[in-house]
Amino acid sequence: MPLDDVVRSQLSHFGDLRGARISLSGPPLSLTPAVAQSLGMALHELGTNAAKYGALSTAFGRVAIEWKVHAEGPTQPQFTLSWVEQGGPAVRAPERSGYGATVTSSMVKWSVGGEVSIDYAPTGLIWRLICPVENIVAHRLHEALVDIATRAASKERLRAGRRVLIVEDEPLIASEIESILSSAGFDVIGPAGTVRQALALIEQRGCDAAVLDVRLGDETSAPIAHSLIRSGTPFVVVSGYTRAQLPKDFQTAPLIRKPLRAGVLEAEVKRCLATNAAPH
């Protein structure tokens, strides 16, 4: 989907403000469907906040949205998307993060395998995303995420016996699970959105327990369950399925029905880890 269309569709409710107080600039660029969805949600949230609290809540504020592709030394070309507000009321960082922060930060980072920065500058909010351009225009998103997770692993200091792999292909749900487990003090591996990515993370980093969704797009997480069962690693199933609908390999695992409840998920993961006290 063309990036220009994604941006315009999320700003359509501002009508005449586009062109007058909302400027768009950037080259033609076609996004993968998953990236278009996550960026669209982030832009919608940024626009809503700007209208309520930021530059578009006043008569004179402006928003500049710019995207570009550029080289970073010998590395692959990078994609940058910026949302810059000016002329609005003074802004300040929120005291706590909520749904908006998930949509504009962690969900976008997970979806594109990049980095998001948010600057509550005196002149107005500045939101910026940067990632390898191939992550958003090619069919190599999950492979790029594996590489990012692998590099991050070399910098992390994991606590033995607390590593939990997340396998979930819905960005919002994956982000929610990651937030719940990270807040509870677990060392999160992933999230992984495909069987291939999950198996690669298991091989490269290992895990002490896992949280699996059954259905991953056009495939199921059965091969992941097989791998975990062979290694004696316990897992929790998070699914919309009933117990009777679960495939055979998932029948004996704890089942948490969607929508999630944080306390239930945390308790079941702790129970799994208690049965797997010896680190792998």
CATH number at residue 195: 3.40.50.2300
Query: 130: which 2 tokens?
Result: 């940067």
Same domain, 130 and 156: no
| pLDDT(257) > 60 | yes
Distances (CA, A) of 141 to 27, 89, 194: 21, 38, 11
Q: Are residues 204 and 263 in the same domain?
A: yes
| Same-domain pairing of 218 and 113 | no
Beta bridge partners of 109: none
Indicate if the pLDDT at residue 150 is higher than 60: no
- Residue 227 forms part of a structural domain: yes
Contact 133, 69 (CB under 8 A): yes
In a domain, 22, yes or no: yes
- Whether 174 and 119 map to the same domain: the answer is no
Segment among 27-31, 114-118, 139-143, 253-257 with least mean pLDDT? 139-143
- Tell me: do 206 and 247 sit in the same domain: yes
Does a structural domain hold residue 148?
yes
Average pLDDT, the chain: 83
- The answer to whether residues 107 and 160 belong to one domain is no
Q: How many angstroms separate the CA atoms of 221 and 102, rounded?
A: 25
116 in any annotated domain = yes
Question: Which carries the bigger pLDDT value, residue 127 or residue 73?
Answer: 127
Mean pLDDT of 158-186: 83
Report if residue 176 sits inside a domain. yes
Q: CA-CA distance, 57 to 141, in Å (whole number)?
A: 36
pLDDT tens column, 194-237: 999 899 999 888 899 999 999 888 889 999 999 999 899 999 99
Let me know whether 209 and 118 are in one domain: no
Instruction: Look at residue 160 in the predicted model and tell me its pLDDT.
Output: 46
Clarify whether residues 179 and 260 are in a common domain: yes
Considering 137, 169, 195, which residue would you say is the last residue of a domain? 137
**DSSP-derived secondary structure for 94-151:** -SS--HHHIIIIIHHHHHHT-EEEEEEETTEEEEEEEEETHHHHSS-HHHHHHHHHHH
The two tokens of residue 125 are 């909010």
Same domain for 96 and 185, yes or no, is no
pLDDT of residue 161: 60
Determine the structural domain holding residue 133 and report its residue range.
Answer: 3-137
255 within domain boundaries: yes
Q: Which pLDDT tens digit goes with each residue over 173-197?
A: 888 899 889 888 899 998 888 999 8
pLDDT at residue 146 in the model? 41
Q: Which secondary-structure segment (H or E) carries 79?
A: strand 78-86
Residues 130 and 149 in one domain: no
Q: Which ranges in the chain belong to alpha helices (H)?
A: 3-10, 17-20, 33-52, 99-101, 107-112, 134-137, 141-153, 171-183, 195-205, 222-231, 262-274
Last residue in a domain, options 137, 154, 188: 137
Residue 279 lies in a domain: no
- CA 222, CA 253: separation in Å to the nearest integer? 12
Question: Where a domain ends, among 113, 137, 161?
Answer: 137
- Examine the domain organization and report whether 113 and 176 are in the same domain: no
Total tally of structural domains belonging to the chain: 2
Length of the chain in residues, anyone?
Answer: 280
The whole-angstrom separation of Cα 275 and Cα 280 is 13
In the DSSP assignment, the letter for residue 217 is T
Residue 151 pLDDT more than 60? no
* All residues at 6 or more sequence positions from 134 whose CB lies less than 8 Å from its CB, including other chains: 76, 77, 140, 144
The reply to whether 280 falls in a domain is: no
State whether 103 and 164 are in the same domain. Answer: no
Cis-peptide into 191, omega within 30 deg: yes
Question: Which CATH number belongs to the domain containing residue 17 in this structure?
Answer: 3.30.565.10
- From CA 218, how far away is CA 17, in angstroms rounded? 41
